[in-house]
Structures are given as C-alpha cells and as structure tokens.
Structure 1
Amino acid sequence: MFTKILVALDRSPMGKQVFEQALALAKATGASLMLLHVLSAEEEGSPYAPLLTNFDYYPGVGSQSFEHYQKQWDNFKNEGIQLLQSLSAQANTAGVNAEFTQQLGSPGRLICQLATTWGADLIIMGRRGRSGLKELFLGSVSNYVLHHAPCSVHVISVPSQVTQAEEAPQETASVN
C-alpha cells in the first residue's frame, strides 16, 4: 500500500481538509507523512511584491517600503512554519510519523520535485475549483501535479456549492 505520503498544504480551509484526510489514510496504512507548504505569490495572504529589486529606481519606494515588506514576508514565513509544526505535532500525537518542510517557489514544480526526492508513494493535495479565466491566468497547481507527478495523486475538491458561494456575490430577494 502506501508508505510515504506527501501532503501539499496551504492556509486555506481546504488545507485543513487535506491534512485530515491524509492523517486518516496514514493511520489506516501505517504510512509516514511529509507536510509541505510552498511560499508563493499564489497563496492567499501572501505579501508577494513583484518589485523586489531596484527599489531605489522607483520614486517614493525606498528602504522603509522594503523594510515593511520584509516584516510582512517574515511574518508570512513564520506563520507557515507554525502551521506545519502544529500539524506535524498533531500527526505524531496520533501515532503517525510526520515531518515537514517549507520551500519558496512554484508550487506545482516543488510538489513534484519533493515527491521524487523523498520517494513519495502518494501526493494528497487540494483543488480550489478555479475555472474559466481564473484558471487560465492563475493556472492550476493540481492540474500541473496530476500531469507531472512521479506517483499517484489524490486531489480533494471543494464542494461545488462552496465554490459557487465564494465566487458569486450574495443575492437576497424580498417577497412583497
């Protein structure tokens, strides 16, 4: 069965579901977990600044702006590590061997690279349910991993009602 499960996580509510399903499967199969968080501009809440170089070139953008950005980035990284430590401890308490890593880069590529180097039997990850123009411009990490992974991939999807509720503005109707 499975002996090594790579769990790709982010800070969304979907990340919690991904972890819970991975933990349940690891308990059932006796597998070890590798928890991965990728620091990326694609993640909600990321303080990613596209102008990381040449701050002096742009008027009004100086060392204070860079220092502010650096503090935000450090907080973002620390929150990711704290999440991974907490989930790893939760898995270890449940009797599942778990380790973690946080890396900076392209989520799809890093997931596939780590799966290869760590020797994962399975990757468990979430899917945000982007469609249309959002997927065209932002891409799909899960789609990339499905096509490039060196092992089996289990993708957990957001239920369609949740996706529609998040994308569509709330409408209220009144009856006269």
Structure 2
Amino acid sequence: MEQQGEEKMKKKVMVAIDESELSHYALEWTLENLGNTIHNSELLVFTAQPTTIDFAPELVAAIQENYKKVALVLLDKAKDICANHGIVAETVTEVGDPKKAICEAVEKFKIELLVLGSHGRGTVQRAFLGSVSNYCVHNAGCTVLVVRKPI
C-alpha cells in the first residue's frame, strides 16, 4: 500500500532533446541541479523526428529511416548521461513538428515539468525561424523550464 502512495506522489518530468549541444546541456543541467527532484520523479527523455516533405516514396522512406537512426542515437546518448547520474530514464520519440509533438507528449504522458534547452536566438532569428521553447512556454499544459547555456 505504501509503495502505491509513493508512485502517486512521483512527479513526471520530461526533458526534450534534439541533436544540438544545447539540449544535451539542458539534460545535464537538469540532472545536476534538480538531482533530488529527478531521483524522486519519473524522467522521460523525448525527441521528435521531423516530418518529411512529399517526395518520391523511396526517398521519403530513406529520410524517415535516417531520422529514426538519429533519434535512437540521441536517446541512447541521453540514457547514458542519465545512467551516469544514477537515473533510469524512459525514452520516447514521436514524428512531427517538434514544438507540437512536445506539447502533445506533455498531455499524453501527463508531464508536470518540461525542460528544454534554449538556442539563444535573437529576436530576428526567432521571428523567422520560430522558437520551440517559446511555443512550449505558451502552449504546454505544464510548468516549463528553459535552460540557457552560459556564454
């Protein structure tokens, strides 16, 4: 009975990563600075595989297979980082626009804290390229922590 109560008390934390050094910095920062919280939480490491543009079916299949391989390498690296901190993390990858996939995963997995890395783009770059972290801050159904690497 006591174990059931502990399971209910565990928070669900998700760290979203991509191939950038900054997202791995955010994962490391989370493990080092939120260690006690993470040790008492369920940690989910998430990555999104971008959707492909309509090309010949063979090309689309090859691109998707490559995205899948990249995602598996990213998640394996993240699992190793977590293991080095004594944390066993669940990993998930979804296909879709990263910012929307992250917000959908927050809802699907009932995440209570979302951690993202910041690419440190300026106002002009964000206007043209968009910002995953900005989108998630305004649209994710949970608390969002954006980790920025010091300059």
Q: What TM-score does the superposition give when structure 1 sets the normalisation length?
A: 0.68
Amino acid at match of 1:132: T
SS in 1 for 2:28: helix
2:33 and 2:41 map into 1 onto residues whose CA distance is 8
Check 1:136–1:67 CA distance in 2 against 1; reply closer, same or farther (3 A cut): same
Superposed CA offset, 1:105-161 (max 9, x none):
1222211211122121200001112223321122111111111121111101243x4
Superposed CA offset, 1:2-38 (max 9, x none):
7211000011110211111222355312222111111
- Who wins on radius of gyration, i.e. which is larger? 1
Aligned-pair identity (%):
28
Whether the 8 Å CA contact 2:115–2:146 is kept in 1: the answer is yes
2:132 corresponds, among 141, 147, 153, to 141
Consecutive unaligned residues of structure 1, counting only runs of 5 or more, are 42-47, 56-65, 162-176
Equivalenced residue count is 141
2:100 and 2:64 map into 1 onto residues whose CA distance is 21
* Structure showing the higher helix proportion among its residues: 2
Question: Counterpart in 1 of 2:88?
Answer: 97
Amino acid at match of 2:29: Q
Tell me how large the CA RMSD over aligned residues is: 2.4
Question: Counterpart in 1 of 2:101?
Answer: 110
Question: Counterpart in 2 of 1:165?
Answer: none
Q: What TM-score does the superposition give when structure 2 sets the normalisation length?
A: 0.78
Consecutive unaligned residues of structure 2, counting only runs of 5 or more, are 1-8
2:26 is equivalent to residue 18 of structure 1: yes
Check 1:2–1:123 CA distance in 2 against 1; reply closer, same or farther (3 A cut): farther
2:34 and 2:110 map into 1 onto residues whose CA distance is 15
1:143 and 1:121 map into 2 onto residues whose CA distance is 18
Check 1:93–1:123 CA distance in 2 against 1; reply closer, same or farther (3 A cut): same
Question: Counterpart in 2 of 1:35?
Answer: 45
1:2 and 1:136 map into 2 onto residues whose CA distance is 38
Whether the 8 Å CA contact 2:18–2:74 is kept in 1: the answer is no
